[in-house]
Structure 1
Amino acid sequence: MKSKGKLMVILSLVLVFGLLITGCGADDTKSTTENSSDENSAAKVKVNIFQFKVEVKDALEDAAEKYMAENPNVELKIQTVGGGDDYGAALRSKFASGNEPAVFNVGGPQDVADWKNKLEDLSDQSWVDLAYNGVLDGVTVDDKVFGLPFNQEGYGFIYNKSIFKKAGIEAESIKSYAELKAAVEKLDSQKEELGLKSVFAFPAKETWVTGLHLSNAALSNEFENVLKAYESKEVDFKYGEGLKKLIDLQADYAYKPDGTKGSLNAVDYATQVEELFSLEQVAIIQQGNWAYGSIAGIDKQVAQNVGFLPMPVVGSTEDSIPVGIPMYWAVNNAKSKEVKDAAKDFLSWLYTSEQGKKIVINDFGFIPALRGYEGPELEPSDPLARDILKYSNQDRTMPWVFMGYPSGWGMNVLGTNIQSYLAGDMTWDQLVKDSQKEWAKAREE
């Protein structure tokens, strides 16, 4: 009995020991699998992209998925900050936190100067030779190129073709301030028949519309290009009277919430584009081709029936619209070679591969700043983009020089002064003198 008992004890111990071995083996297998997974993840090159253009957020993320499917060794992570948020401030905060992105955006000469120590030289990239004349000027220093242009954008006075037709106005004939003013007066005289609240919607609350884009119509003629604006120690307002006329024309014939010009300072982008224009309560707005999506989101039929009128500056260019580059892709030179190479390859794939070019045109809705987009599948589909190409082909464009303004001057100084002018708190002469003083002050710092 004792021998039998001992045998049972021995068998029990063997069984327990075997279970322990089996359990340990299972744990080791799981650990090996996890380690293998970690190694695969670690082997991927991770590229963090910090970008501003909210309109293409979803399409850009889809493009990243397509790229990663072709390049499984690369992991792209995209963060978008823009719209109503200050991208520049968010970018500075991002770098200050130590969590520097591999790819980010710069706007032109001032941004290039501000971020010079973080910018990778992209001069050797294949797309450089495909760039249209002048589109790389704002990010070129000492013959080195520091940014890939997002796209071309244009703006001007967007008009409703149906309303113009009902009013008996031939929009194609408008090529001067006098002709624009005559058309505005004709529309105003028929407001009731046309169902309009007013001729214009003027969003003076948005100082980027007034202090940057509207002012550019005059200052582009003074500075000729963005580099001259950036290098200038002073601003003369050589065509200031032409700028005043454009502001006054809009203000005089604009929708005013409480009937006063001061109330124009409460009109924002959403009120201008999504409410008044898209619902056909006004006939003209100053905006760019980026507004097409907002209009189409409200009324697709209205969106397909719009076009651009010029931004006429009396005494200078009167038949053109401003066309330029809204932002550039930049690569962080502080990242590892592997990360920088992956970042460059993704950007090149996006803008030069056949699949990427279709994404840029059809999904982003961009007007390319690079050659090589010929063919029916790569033609812009919306009427505002087509109009920009028409103006470009007719050599009726002016450059974006506002990218060369002193940091913050356009929005925080000139745009704010225009608000004071509309409210009656500042004369035009005071506006000019104060804006000149602040420009010179900024250049001294």
Structure 2
Amino acid sequence: MHFKKISLWLLSFFCLISLSYLGLSNRQSSSNSTTIDFFNQKPEVAESYQHLAKLYQKSHPNIKIKVTTVGNSNGASALQAKFISGDAPDLVMLGGLPEVDRYHNRLISLDNMAIQKKIIPSLKSGGRIYGKILGIPVDLEGYGWSYNKAVFRKAGIDVKQIHDYASFKAAVQKIASQEKQLHLSGIFAFNGADTASISSFSAQFLSQAYHNNLTKAYHSQNLDWQYSKQMKAYTDLIKKYNVQPILSVRYDASVEDLFFNGKVAMVPQGNWIIPTLDGLKKNFTKDNLGMLPYYVKGRSKIMTGSSWYIGITNEHPAKEKAAKAFLNWMYTSTASENVIVNEMRYVPATINFPLSKLPDPVSKEIYKIGTSKQASVPVHKQFPNGFSQEVIGPNMQRYFANKMSWQNFIDQTSRKYNQLRQIQGGK
């Protein structure tokens, strides 16, 4: 009996020692771990960023990636609130130079990161301000007319014959002449209710003056209306052949119903609609999606750029090295590449990416154009804060509704642009 008591006492003692050691070990492991807060403004890829975080944590057990997502026009205000409250994230997704500028004193320079050598050159100026690169482009996007191949095929449209505005207009008119037979609700599904779409549409005609230099566009005090005639021609074509009422057409319905179901021939969108379309029907993009450019100043290629840039804040110096390592991993690792290309359906913002790894023809076309000497970058993300939502969007809506003349549209939009630049800076 005495022996049993001693044995039980020794067993309890060693268990206590073991538990104490494990507790100490766990505390040490916990104290050595680092949490990187990543603020994401793209809700449609929130799950994919969570997937990337888990993948990274598997191979880096002492690093935790916490992804916070706020988007749908609320991201900018939510991010600002985090900085004001003293709860600034470590990695931030920023929407163009206005946001990069707003936080430039709270971002570290990324000039010396090795990944800079791999970034597509035409995209770099979207993250550069005051002589420093403060943001790395999230992806490469193509902007133009997304067309439904099935509708074009039924209408007898040969895309190879479309090479300028005149032939584009002729194709539109040919489809319109068969509207009833094709069971169309309109030729276009331009979502006039969405000021962001109006803003990106305007960039097709307002970007040429800046020669792919987004920093120059951001510093510009005035808009360049050199191609306003072409802009008016396209706008009037949209007014005539769009689903009506145009101001009631919203983004989700235009893509998920009108375009996907073949009720229209075209939507003025880019490759960001690919995940939605393929989510509705597997391989829809591969079989049924094509893209046409806006023909401006002889341009025959779609515009390519990046709407979002990722920066690293200087709020937590002890975390900067870990934040850089994660950012570098996202752009260089095979595991990350698979998620970004096949799950997010991003076109990579890096050079020398194998075309064979891109899963659909549109993505391949965008990459070829975006990495070529013919690349043309849109400037709408460099407009002053509030310009898209409060100025050019509402003014274009007034023109669509015949409540504003074209000349008044130009005059009032120009005046407000200049006022916002004077107030906000960007000089």
> Structure 2 length as normaliser, TM-score?
0.90
- 1:120 Cα deviation after fit: 0.9
Q: Who is 1:308 aligned against?
A: 291
Unaligned residue ranges in structure 2 (runs of 5+): none
Unaligned residue ranges in structure 1 (runs of 5+): 1-14, 257-262
Aligned residues of 2:189 and 2:254 also touching (Cα < 8 A) = yes
Q: Who is 1:298 aligned against?
A: 280
Aligned residues of 1:108 and 1:139 also touching (Cα < 8 A) = yes
Q: How far apart are the structure 1 equivalents of 2:98 and 2:78?
A: 17
Q: Who is 1:9 aligned against?
A: none
Q: How far apart are the structure 1 equivalents of 2:362 and 2:220?
A: 33
Q: Secondary structure at the match of 2:310?
A: strand
Aligned residues of 1:175 and 1:310 also touching (Cα < 8 A) = no
Q: Which amino acid aligns with 1:37?
A: N
Q: Which amino acid aligns with 1:327?
A: W
Q: Who is 1:430 aligned against?
A: 408
Q: Secondary structure at the match of 1:76?
A: strand
Q: How far apart are the structure 2 equivalents of 1:74 and 1:123?
A: 24
Q: Secondary structure at the match of 2:221?
A: coil
Q: Deviations over 1:148-190 (max 9, x none)?
A: 2111001210111122122111112212111111000000001
Q: Secondary structure at the match of 2:181?
A: helix
Q: Who is 1:260 aligned against?
A: none
Q: How far apart are the structure 2 equivalents of 1:265 and 1:271?
A: 13
Q: Which amino acid aligns with 1:307?
A: G
Q: How far apart are the structure 1 equivalents of 2:201 and 2:74?
A: 20
Q: Classify 1:395/1:168 alpha carbon distance in 2 versus 1 (closer, same or farther; 3 Å).
A: farther
Moved more, 30-39 or 107-116: 30-39
What is the aligned counterpart of 2:354 among 366, 370, 374? 374
- 1:387 Cα deviation after fit: 2.6
Q: Secondary structure at the match of 2:399?
A: helix
Q: How far apart are the structure 2 equivalents of 1:99 and 1:142?
A: 26
What is the aligned counterpart of 2:333 among 353, 372, 378? 353
Identity over the aligned pairs, expressed in percent? 30
Aligned residues of 1:106 and 1:327 also touching (Cα < 8 A) = yes
- 1:97 Cα deviation after fit: 2.1
Pairing of 1:35-74 with structure 2 (within 5 A): 36-74=25-63
Aligned residues of 1:366 and 1:380 also touching (Cα < 8 A) = no
Q: Who is 1:213 aligned against?
A: 200
Q: Classify 1:390/1:144 alpha carbon distance in 2 versus 1 (closer, same or farther; 3 Å).
A: closer
Aligned residues of 2:275 and 2:344 also touching (Cα < 8 A) = no
Q: Secondary structure at the match of 1:300?
A: coil
Q: Secondary structure at the match of 2:268?
A: strand
What is the aligned counterpart of 2:301 among 320, 332, 335? 320
- 1:126 Cα deviation after fit: 0.7
Q: How far apart are the structure 2 equivalents of 1:114 and 1:280?
A: 42
- Tell me if 1:383 matches 2:361: yes
Q: Who is 1:277 aligned against?
A: 259
Q: How far apart are the structure 2 equivalents of 1:432 and 1:27?
A: 79
Q: How far apart are the structure 2 equivalents of 1:176 and 1:136?
A: 30
Q: Classify 1:65/1:220 alpha carbon distance in 2 versus 1 (closer, same or farther; 3 Å).
A: same
Q: Classify 1:301/1:112 alpha carbon distance in 2 versus 1 (closer, same or farther; 3 Å).
A: closer
What is the aligned counterpart of 1:147 among 118, 135, 143? 135
Q: Who is 1:421 aligned against?
A: 399
Q: Deviations over 1:134-154 (max 9, x none)?
A: 211122235422112111001
Highest Rg: 1 or 2? 1
Moved more, 320-329 or 298-307: 298-307
Q: Secondary structure at the match of 1:105?
A: strand
Q: Deviations over 1:77-114 (max 9, x none)?
A: 111122x2421111111212221100001233222211
Q: Classify 1:318/1:250 alpha carbon distance in 2 versus 1 (closer, same or farther; 3 Å).
A: farther
Q: Who is 1:365 aligned against?
A: 345
> Structure 1 length as normaliser, TM-score?
0.87
- 1:356 Cα deviation after fit: 2.6
Pairing of 1:98-177 with structure 2 (within 5 A): 98-177=86-165
- Tell me if 1:329 matches 2:316: no
- 1:198 Cα deviation after fit: 1.3
Q: Who is 2:167 aligned against?
A: 179
- 1:317 Cα deviation after fit: 3.8
Q: Who is 1:78 aligned against?
A: 67
Q: Deviations over 1:7-44 (max 9, x none)?
A: xxxxxxxx9xxx99999998897676545433322220
Q: Secondary structure at the match of 1:78?
A: strand
- 1:208 Cα deviation after fit: 0.5
Q: How far apart are the structure 2 equivalents of 1:425 and 1:35?
A: 72
What is the aligned counterpart of 1:405 among 361, 383, 406? 383
Moved more, 145-154 or 301-310: 301-310
Q: Which amino acid aligns with 1:214?
A: F
Aligned residues of 2:127 and 2:137 also touching (Cα < 8 A) = no
Aligned residues of 1:202 and 1:251 also touching (Cα < 8 A) = no
Aligned residues of 2:140 and 2:304 also touching (Cα < 8 A) = yes
Q: How far apart are the structure 2 equivalents of 1:246 and 1:97?
A: 46
Aligned residues of 1:319 and 1:396 also touching (Cα < 8 A) = no
Q: How far apart are the structure 2 equivalents of 1:218 and 1:327?
A: 21
Q: Which amino acid aligns with 1:409?
A: F
Q: How far apart are the structure 1 equivalents of 2:9 and 2:121?
A: 74
Q: Classify 1:355/1:24 alpha carbon distance in 2 versus 1 (closer, same or farther; 3 Å).
A: closer
- Tell me if 1:340 matches 2:320: yes
Moved more, 422-431 or 285-294: 422-431
Q: Which amino acid aligns with 1:190?
A: Q
Q: Which amino acid aligns with 1:427?
A: S
Q: How far apart are the structure 2 equivalents of 1:394 and 1:60?
A: 29
Q: Who is 1:267 aligned against?
A: 249
Q: How far apart are the structure 1 equivalents of 2:83 and 2:370?
A: 38
Q: Size of the alignment, in residue pairs?
A: 417
Aligned residues of 1:229 and 1:401 also touching (Cα < 8 A) = yes
Q: CA RMSD in A?
A: 2.5
